[in-house]
Structure 1
Amino acid sequence: MSDTAPAASAPAEPPQPEQPSKNALKKAQKDKEKAQPVVLPAEKKAAAKARELAERSKKDAADAADVSANAYGELPLCGSTDFKPTGKARASLADVSENEDKEITFRCWVENARVQSAKLAFLNLRQGLSTVQAVVAASEKLSKQMVKYCGSISTESTLVVTGLVKRVQEPIKSATIKDFEIHIKELFIEVKADVPLPLQVEDAERPLPSDAAAEDDQKQEEGAERPLVSLNTRLNNRTIDLRAKINQSIFVIKSGVCALFQEFLSKRGFILVQTPKILGAASEGGANVFELKYFDRPAYLAQSPQFYKQMLIASRFQKVMEIGPVFRAENSNTARHLTEFTGLDLEMEFQENYHEVMGVLEDLMLFIFKELNARYRKETELVRGVYHIDDFKLPESGNVPRIPFKEGIAMLREAGEEVGDYDDLTTPQEKMLGRLVLKKYNSDFYTLDQFPLAIRPAYTMPSPADPLLSNSYDMFMRGQEILSGAQRIHDSTLLASQMRKHDPPVDPESAGTKDYVDCFRFGCPPHAGGGFGLERIVQFWLGLPNIRMCSLFPRDPQRVVP
């Protein structure tokens, strides 16, 4: 036997499992699918309902965790529920600088709202002519849900906002209030605005197309196109159009002209009167009047308060003024004519010469111009900034250029115009004369005196200097007429004679004139006056391209709505 042990044999490898074939795998998958329970339609619906309930439960849980749930949302329609006072005083955005680091509550509407991120939203809020930037920022006390809600509010919706007034480091360019912003704590929609709007308010802040073409072409070349909305589109959607700051400024100024008119004249003893606007017969020759049905007979809308102003002077009212509507049935489709406008009228007796009345009228307008500059500078600059008109050049009191009509004709002839000694001036000639006066006298306001008698009304006093001229005058702004006035005939015999000689003749015994002529038979002092067109004063002061912009809901030969 051998002394050595036999060598150990190597352990055998375990057998590898046999890989199933592809066919076997497919068969196994089919068997598995067959083993799945069949889901009936009803079971599918039940499963979907369960998932919906689960989602709703999840959302309810999230809403329950909304720390701002009671700080935003839509309020019930005002007046539809029992009134419960909040006790919160309402603030004005115009006074926001006085409330730094204080919490204020105010009503406003949305100019713009945008979500910056899940935790931040910005709103531009407006109240009157004031706009302010508002910030909604998520925090432990303000939820992301509120940020999202505030950033998605439709433009022009009316809100009640409570927030903290905070000073900013950099001026805010997009708001009129540049040094402060509102950090919103509560925001509720009082009235939600439907979208889309028929007209964007920001578009109404821009010039009319005809006056902005050159600027707009430049903007488009630079790739910064902006819509220009026609005047008709604006007027057809006037309640939206009037929300524009430029339009609200126009009517603040228009209101100011009326207030200043009364303020000046009241201090000088004028009495505010209201004369009839429905007449039983056409007056002043019967031209350019609107006829209407008055019960069972025709009547007419007053084309001026002229006859009644004079009848009041004959009634021993020494000085009268009126602010009221005037109706002219003139088919004039120009940029400075309306069929219904507001007249600023006055009439007064004078002592020796009708120029006394001209002096009152000139001082009245200088007062209005200077006070518009002082009291309504903000609104004036806002509008002129859009239409880029020069400041109105004003003369001093007593230095208003008074240009005899004959001298005005001579000035036009020197400038190359062909015009007769007694011709009425065309609109282009009036504008040219305005430029000549501005150059010579440095004044945008002036008076043209002693007009030809043939182109004035039949009640105008003839001039003692020339029987073809009259004691009448017009006043102009930037070369366009704003007032027509004159000394009136205060003798019934002369008045009747001049009416019969007028072209066309006026019957002093007609229903529309008999009472007027007869009132002078009982004694009437010499008197004069004039009538301003309110809308023209505003138009020419601001340099607006169309008088319709100065009427809330303008009436012209083509428009009687809205």
Structure 2
Amino acid sequence: MAEDKENAEVPSKKALKKAQKHAEKAAKKAEYKAQKEGDTDQVDSETQDVSEGLYGTLPMNQSSQKIAFEYTFIGDLSKTKANSVVKITGRLHTSRAKGKQCFFVMRMREHSVQCVLAVGDKVSKQMVKFCGNITRESIINVEGKVVATSQKIESCSVQDVEIQVHKVFVESAAEPRLPLQIEDAMRPDTEDAEGLQIRVSQDTRLDNRVLDLRTPINHAIFKVNAGVIKLFRESLEKRGFNEIVCPKLISGASEGGANVFGLSYFERKAFLAQSPQLYKQMAIASDFGKVFTIGPVFRAENSNTHRHLTEFTGLDLEMAFHHHYHEVIQMEDDEDLSTPNEKLLGRLVKAKYDTDFYIMDKYPLAVRPFYTMPDAENPKWSNSYDMFMRGEEILSGAQRIHNPEFLTERAKAHGIAVDTIQSYIDAFRYGCPPHAGGGIGLERVSMLYLGLDNIRKTSLFPRDPKRLTP
């Protein structure tokens, strides 16, 4: 019996094997627990993130801290001293992660620069992976060193330097799926047999106008718009014109006809101004002498053509004259006043089409607004003139009626309720000099100057009979 008891206390081979497995399992659990608790002695050094705090997504900016950072504009990087450390902000245009590196392009307005992030002393694999997963069009902040490149970077506007990145933070993330790709929107409309045939339709562009407007070509278009406005204003101010701001809510149709937007104005009917015409003339009756105004004009025309909008920017002028309305035409024909003109438009137009513009004088009275003065020798025609560029009208003008009785008669002939414009007519009862003026459509001028095929391309957020958003 004693011998049997002694043999029973010796573990069998099966029991030993089971105990060994249990011990190994316990050891693995201990190692996992040590890793979880941050026991760095048992953690593989490659899993450590040496870039912690150098990348990530920033909390929403609520201006909670007044911290001044000196950011360098992307367009100025070529002028920055080599090996300088800079901070830049912009959009992630494209990115490509490859192995231990991530190449990405940052873009802000028409400027772009290549950035490189590579695994090193302070750059971890996790940081490279994070950068490679940032969605396109996100706003990011980058800190890095400006390094000269051995060859030009053709895909960027900054071609002689790149940024070696050591910090990158997402300021505002874009959604992963975009309605259109910016690089697709940047492609010209011309057919290219050897290139990509991906094109973005006009409706897609306009439906997603905020994205479309980010392309360099659109920035250039609206710089031209701004240039035309600036030139118009500066040229007229130089000639003694005074800028005025006219109401857009009016009590009657300023041009007559049915192409006017009506709306409820408390307990009355009101309209969106078809032009600032009535108030330009009232300013002349107030002895301003020469006036101009720049602002929105509304036309309820159901025209779905390439050259019509229901809302456009009017560049309007009015001036008193002494003897003949041609005094206004001659002033408008001055080489550094007219739009187009030698400074901004005329040189290119003349070189390309061998003409700047031409004026068509005298029009049938039936096609002119009610306030247009008829010609004394031929009452069926008006003292009017239109200016044309590349065969399309860019300015319409005429002598205005300054006699209240005759103005009332013409208004009735055009079916206008006189009571809705009575204050306008009364403005001429106290003496008003003869005067004339004209109006230019900004978007049409820019369209023709740039040779574009549609006026919607020169309107920031175009309005036409089918489009009221965005």
Q: TM-score, normalised by structure 2?
A: 0.87
| Equivalent residue number for residue 95 of structure 1 | 76
Rounded to whole Å, the distance in 2 between the matches of 1:62 and 1:246 is 49
Higher percent of residues as strand: 2
Structure 1 residue 486 and structure 2 residue 398: aligned? yes
Q: Which amino acid aligns with 2:142?
A: V
Most deviating of 271-280 and 143-152: 143-152
The answer to whether the 8 Å contact 2:246/2:276 transfers is yes
| Equivalent residue number for residue 107 of structure 1 | 89
| Residue deviations 1:282-326 (CA, integer Å, cap 9, x gap) | 333342111111112221111111111111101111111111111
Structure 1 residue 239 and structure 2 residue 210: aligned? yes
Give 3-state SS (helix, strand or coil) of 2:408's partner.
Answer: helix
Matches within 5 A, 1:248-287: 248-287=219-258
Rounded to whole Å, the distance in 2 between the matches of 1:312 and 1:493 is 19
For residue 78 of structure 1, the aligned residue among 53, 57, 61 is 61
For residue 470 of structure 1, the aligned residue among 374, 382, 405 is 382
The answer to whether the 8 Å contact 1:335/1:548 transfers is yes
Matches within 5 A, 1:104-253: 104-118=86-100, 120-207=101-188, 211-212=189-190, 215-216=191-192, 218-219=193-194, 224-253=195-224
The answer to whether the 8 Å contact 1:459/1:498 transfers is yes
Rounded to whole Å, the distance in 1 between the matches of 2:25 and 2:252 is 81
| Equivalent residue number for residue 540 of structure 1 | 448
| Equivalent residue number for residue 386 of structure 1 | none
The structure-2 alpha-carbon separation of the partners of 1:497 and 1:298, relative to structure 1 and needing over 3 Å to count, comes to closer
Rounded to whole Å, the distance in 2 between the matches of 1:35 and 1:151 is 51
| Equivalent residue number for residue 427 of structure 2 | 519
Q: Which amino acid aligns with 2:381?
A: L
The answer to whether the 8 Å contact 1:264/1:367 transfers is no
Matches within 5 A, 1:445-456: 445-456=357-368
Give 3-state SS (helix, strand or coil) of 1:450's partner.
Answer: strand
Q: Which ranges of structure 2 fall in alignment gaps of 5 or more residues?
A: 1-11
Rounded to whole Å, the distance in 2 between the matches of 1:52 and 1:236 is 53
Rounded to whole Å, the distance in 2 between the matches of 1:46 and 1:546 is 75
Q: Which amino acid aligns with 1:546?
A: N
The answer to whether the 8 Å contact 1:75/1:189 transfers is yes
| Equivalent residue number for residue 555 of structure 1 | 463
| Residue deviations 1:423-461 (CA, integer Å, cap 9, x gap) | xxxxxxxxxxxx9xx5xxx21422221222222112212
Rounded to whole Å, the distance in 2 between the matches of 1:285 and 1:367 is 27
Higher percent of residues as helix: 1
* CA shift for structure 1 position 365: 5.2
Q: Which amino acid aligns with 1:463?
A: D
Give 3-state SS (helix, strand or coil) of 1:284's partner.
Answer: coil
Give 3-state SS (helix, strand or coil) of 2:144's partner.
Answer: strand
Q: Which amino acid aligns with 1:89?
A: E
Q: Which amino acid aligns with 1:198?
A: P
The structure-2 alpha-carbon separation of the partners of 1:116 and 1:520, relative to structure 1 and needing over 3 Å to count, comes to same
Q: Which amino acid aligns with 2:324?
A: N
* CA shift for structure 1 position 470: 2.1
Aligned-CA RMSD value: 3.2
Rounded to whole Å, the distance in 2 between the matches of 1:249 and 1:561 is 23
Give 3-state SS (helix, strand or coil) of 1:494's partner.
Answer: helix
* CA shift for structure 1 position 199: 1.4
Rounded to whole Å, the distance in 2 between the matches of 1:371 and 1:460 is 31
Structure 1 residue 297 and structure 2 residue 268: aligned? yes
The answer to whether the 8 Å contact 2:254/2:275 transfers is no
* CA shift for structure 1 position 518: 2.4
Rounded to whole Å, the distance in 1 between the matches of 2:332 and 2:78 is 41
Rounded to whole Å, the distance in 2 between the matches of 1:462 and 1:60 is 94
| Residue deviations 1:471-512 (CA, integer Å, cap 9, x gap) | 211112221111111111222233334445x4x4545xx122
Give 3-state SS (helix, strand or coil) of 1:451's partner.
Answer: strand
The structure-2 alpha-carbon separation of the partners of 1:357 and 1:53, relative to structure 1 and needing over 3 Å to count, comes to farther
Q: Which amino acid aligns with 1:556?
A: D
The answer to whether the 8 Å contact 1:342/1:534 transfers is yes
| Equivalent residue number for residue 461 of structure 1 | 373
* CA shift for structure 1 position 536: 0.9
The answer to whether the 8 Å contact 1:321/1:344 transfers is yes
The structure-2 alpha-carbon separation of the partners of 1:511 and 1:51, relative to structure 1 and needing over 3 Å to count, comes to farther
The structure-2 alpha-carbon separation of the partners of 1:47 and 1:268, relative to structure 1 and needing over 3 Å to count, comes to farther
| Residue deviations 1:165-208 (CA, integer Å, cap 9, x gap) | 2222311110111222222232111111111112111222234x
Rounded to whole Å, the distance in 2 between the matches of 1:186 and 1:498 is 72
| Residue deviations 1:320-339 (CA, integer Å, cap 9, x gap) | 11111111111111111111
The answer to whether the 8 Å contact 1:109/1:126 transfers is yes
| Residue deviations 1:31-53 (CA, integer Å, cap 9, x gap) | 99999759xxxx99999977865
Rounded to whole Å, the distance in 1 between the matches of 2:276 and 2:180 is 38
The structure-2 alpha-carbon separation of the partners of 1:55 and 1:353, relative to structure 1 and needing over 3 Å to count, comes to farther
* CA shift for structure 1 position 84: 5.7
* CA shift for structure 1 position 62: 4.5
Give 3-state SS (helix, strand or coil) of 2:168's partner.
Answer: strand
* CA shift for structure 1 position 467: 3.3
The structure-2 alpha-carbon separation of the partners of 1:545 and 1:62, relative to structure 1 and needing over 3 Å to count, comes to farther
Q: Which ranges of structure 1 fall in alignment gaps of 5 or more residues?
A: 1-30, 375-390, 396-434
Rounded to whole Å, the distance in 2 between the matches of 1:135 and 1:161 is 11
| Equivalent residue number for residue 394 of structure 1 | 350
The structure-2 alpha-carbon separation of the partners of 1:371 and 1:124, relative to structure 1 and needing over 3 Å to count, comes to farther
